[in-house]
Every structure is written in structure tokens, then in C-alpha cells.
Structure 1
Amino acid sequence: MSRLSLAYSPCPNDTFIFGAIAAKLVNLKGMDMDIHLHDVEELNRACRDSRYDVSKISIAALPHLQEKYGLLYSGGALGRGCGPLVVSRPGFDLKDLVSARIAVPGIMTTAYVLVCLFAGQPLKVTPMRFDSIMPSVSRGEYDLGVIIHEGRFTYQGYGLCQLLDLGQWWEQQTGLPIPLGGIAIRRGLGQDLARKVDHLISHSLSLAQKNPRLTENYIKRHAQEMEETVIKQHIELYVNEYTNNIGEEGQRAIKTLLTMGADIGLLPHLQANLMAYP
């Protein structure tokens, strides 16, 4: 039996995707999974140390991990109309972006790369957990926050206003879906096992899509007191056709983002194959 460590975030889209695996509702085909749930930036950092065999990562983290990890085709977070938002208290102007005090959900996140691409240069920022950003901006500790996940549904409750939709900006610039996150597997495990894990994730996702009630309690348990309507919006937005299969367009979007990030000196150039197997 292969024993693998599997890590993903407690966000509803991830628990929706992996819930059937966690509950052993799918045939694990001789594999045993040690499951870990953490914030995505914590997962990015953990993978730098090869801590997990299979893990959700930010797409922007991949160049830092490319020698150790390759992407799987299923389980990722790409799409349209789902990018990070730049928010502030009323009265701030984006023309002051370069000098602003900016809170981001991590240096290795796609959100950080996107706001720097918009600015055309690396920005001085403060990384923090994604769920600390809106309260910090609301208290005036930072001028701007780059928010992700369910923040796009809840920022107004903190008295904040949207200055920029980075996903919309990205789509206008490139015509491509925004590549936020993906599922990475250690290259050392081999391509055959990578295929097997990919099929397993795809099966878990398919089960949840056919019968959402199967994973409902698991999702709610990890949703950090999120309102049910927000959970539903979250899943509907971040689980889409690209979650089933990144596809050629998704791969093109990822390569475009990473190339643009490297061109402004923000990311290492991508040298290895993007995917874990052909």
C-alpha cells in the first residue's frame, strides 16, 4: 500500500473537491492518505521543504518548486471572474499604489504576483494570513489589501470598497482565465503514481458534483463559520470546467502568468515541464 501525504486548504472549493477522498467514499486503489489542511501560503512554504507528497499550491509558487513538484490536471483553481480584489477604506486612490502600505496573503501567492504585474514592478508588501487582511485594512493599519477566497463576497461588511479586480484586469490583458492555484505532486513519486492520484482526485470531484450532500458536512466543518450562502457562492465560483481538467488553455494561462512574473524579476524562469506527466 502506498502511503501519501495529501494537503489542501480548508476553503470550500478544496473541501468540496477532496471531501470524498477524506471520507473514503472513493476507491483509493491501494493508497492510504494522510490528510492535512492549512492556509495556501503555509502549503506553499511547506512544499519548499518537500513536506507533502500531494498539495494544493499557488500557481505563482510553482517556479520556486519546479524541480521537486509538477502539476496535476484536476483539482486546480482557475477561472474567469474569480481573481483577487484590491480593497481599501473609502478615499484611497490607486495612483498611490507604489507608495501604499499593502497587505497580501503571502509572497508566494498568485495574488501578490498579480498586483505587482499591475504595478509593473515588485512592490513592498506585508504578507499575512488571508483572513487577517480585511480587518487590518479596516482598522487603518494598511492602505490596501489584496484579498482572495470568500473575501470578494464579504469585504463590504468591513466598510471597504473595491479599487481593482485583478482577475478582470488579467483577462483584459491576456484574454485567458486567471490561474490561481493547482494540485502539485512530488516528481520523485513517478509519472504512473501521478496519473493514479490525478484520476483519484477527478473521481472525488465527480462524486461531489453529482451529489453535493456527500461532502456538505465536511465542507461546513472546515468553513470557519462562513455563512451558507457564501459557501455556495465560493464553490460555484472556484469549482468549474478548469477544476475538472486544466486543459491546454489553462496551461497557456499558467505559462503566461509565470513568464510575465519572471520578466519583471519577481519569479524564477520556468525550466522544468509544467505538468507532472504528459
Structure 2
Amino acid sequence: MKTISVAHSPDADDIFMYYAIKFGWVTPNDAKFENIADDIETLNQATLKGDYDICAISFALYPFVKDDYALLKTAVSFGEGYGPKLIKRKGTKLKRNFKVALSGEFTTNALLFKIAYPDARITYMNFLDIEQAVINGDVDAGVLIHESILTYDDSLEVEKEMWDIWVELSGGDLPLPLGGMCIRRSIPLHAAIDYEDTLIKAVNVANKNRKVLAPMLLDKGLIRVDADTLDNYLDLYANDNSVQLSDIQYKALDKLFELGYKNGFYTELVKSQDFLIPSEYKELRQK
């Protein structure tokens, strides 16, 4: 049986969406999924090198890997009135060229931040270290992602919501694209369709069985936060809108790619639906 590497981040929504497979509730045909958990920028960099068969990525990375990876339609995270937060120490005022910690060069929040704050001095670090770096004064500000947007220290305050930056840049009627998954193009199409179907089922099963799955993950120590924070976080990033990309989410992705292109971060304009797995092939093949 073929082993397929599936890499995801260790944050609560990715763990939640994947573990329906890990626990054996959903299984692919004729393949075994082997999961790897790592921080999102490490996964972005790994995708650039082609390390994994299926990998979670920041959506902002995708135009750089589109020739080698197809975009999956499931396990997606979007913000709807919320998202990463630019935080600073309470009572401080940021200068035009303030020093900021971001969670990675290819993250979506980094793309939006660079457009909004072109004069800021950027340093990259693991997302788990950003909050303490701001508290210690190593940087003037930092962009928090994942669960830390709910749990940051009382000595810190929000300078700007990345959601507000997105609204200003995009026009205000689209959800904020944050992360999704991609699959290696060298995988045979019929197998790629099956793997995507498996992941769609896994996310759907996890979402529908949240009251069972969430306590299991907490009991096994797989989640970094407590039960209440997990519940709040899953409300944000692992919900009905995570199961399969919708029309408005495609529009949001295209707007993100357009912003990156117009601001010189991408060399060509990418349309998200041009880079999906052609799942209709499965139906045609069966006729």
C-alpha cells in the first residue's frame, strides 16, 4: 500500500481537521496517510522544496508553487471579521519604520503586512516566539496567528487587526484567505481525486462530530489550549466554511493573488479555480 505524506500545522484547527483520518474514522482507498506536524512557515518552505505529497500552506505561498502543486478544495481557513493581529506593548506608539516580528516570509499575514506597512523593519521567527519577543522589547510589534490571537498577555494591545487591513485593501465584502492545502501534481490524477475526497470527508466528519472529537484531542494532549479556548478557536477556523471552497472564497483568493501581483510580489496573475484538481475526471472515467 502506498504511503502518502500529509503535512499540517500543529495548531488546533489543522489537528482537528486531520485527526478523523488519524483515528481511522475516514480512510483513503489503496493508500496510507502519514502525517507530519510543523509550523506553517516551515511547511511553506518545505512545499517550495517539494518535500511532501500533500501539505498545508499559507494561501499567499500558492502562486510560487502552482506549477508543482494543485490547490485542494478542503481544509481551508478564512477569517470573517477576524484574523491575525498586529500587537504591541500597551501605551507605546509605533514609528513609521518600527521593528516587527512576523511568522514567516510566505505567510498570508506577511503579504498583507508588507503592502500596508512598506517601511517597517521585518524579522521572521516561529509564531510561538512572537508574543514574548514583543513583551521583552526585542521587537516593537508582532503579528500573532493561530490560538495566540485569543490568549495573548494582558500587557499587550492590538495596534491593527489584519482583518481591517484586508478590508481596506480588498474592498470589504470578502472573507480573509489564510491557509489551505495543496497536492503534488506528479500524483496520478485518479489517486489525487481520491485523496482530496478523503480529506473533504475527514473535515466534514470532524466538523459534524466536534463534540466527540474535541475532547479526545484534549485528553490525548494534542492541543495547546484549554477546552474553552479550543471551542472558540474552532468556531473561527474549523467550521462549515472549512469543508469545501465556496464561490465567495474563490473570489477572496483571487483578490489576494491580485493584490500580490499588483504590488510586485508575484510575477503573474493567478486565478484560483485554474489550479484545482479536475474532479470531474472521476465521473468521466466511470462512464
> What TM-score, normalized by structure 2, do the two folds share?
0.88
Distance 1:38 1:122, change over 3 A: farther
The equivalent residue for 2:222 is 222
CA deviation map 1:10-58 (0-9, x unaligned): 1111111111111222132211111100001110001111110001000
1:158 CA drift (Å): 4.9
- After TM superposition, give the deviation of residue 202 of structure 1 in Å: 1.6
Q: Secondary structure at the match of 2:73?
A: coil
* 1:90 partner amino acid: K
Write the distance in 2 (CA, Å) between the matches of 1:57 and 1:113. 14
The answer as to 2:162 corresponding to 1:169 is: no
Aligned-partner SS, 1:188:
coil
Distance 1:24 1:268, change over 3 A: farther
In structure 2, the residue matched to 1:274 is 275
| Counterpart residue identity of residue 262, structure 1 | Y
**What is the identity, as a one-letter code, of the residue corresponding to 2:18?**
F
Write the mapping of 1:111-260 to structure 2, written as runs, cut at 5 A.
111-119=109-117, 121=118, 123-155=120-152, 157-172=153-168, 173-174=170-171, 175-212=173-210, 213-214=212-213, 216-218=215-217, 221-224=221-224, 226-260=225-259
- Percent identity for Structure 1 against Structure 2: 27
When residues 47 and 92 of structure 1 are mapped into structure 2, their CA distance, relative to the original with a 3 A threshold, is same
Shift of 1:240: 2.7
Query: Which residue of the partner structure matches residue 2 of structure 2?
Result: 2
Aligned length: 273
Corresponding residue SS for 1:200: helix
2:207–2:238 Cα contact (<8 Å) kept: no
The one-letter amino acid of 2:45's match is R
Q: RCO higher in 1 or 2 (8 Å CA, sep ≥ 6)?
A: 1
- Confirm or deny: 8 A CA contact 1:71 1:276 kept in the other structure: yes
Q: 1:103 aligns with which of 101, 108, 116?
A: 101
Q: Which sections of structure 1, spanning at least 5 residues, go unmatched?
A: none
- The TM-score with structure 1 as length reference comes to 0.91
SS at match of 1:223: coil
Query: Is the CA contact 1:88–1:143 (under 8 Å) kept in the aligned structure 2?
Result: yes
Matched residue of 2:275: which SS?
coil
In 1, the alpha carbon distance for the partners of 2:75 and 2:6 equals: 12
Task: Calculate the aligned-residue CA RMSD, in Å.
Answer: 1.9
Give ranges in structure 2 of 5+ residues lacking alignment: 280-287
Give, as a single letter, the amino acid of the residue that structure 2 aligns with 1:64: F
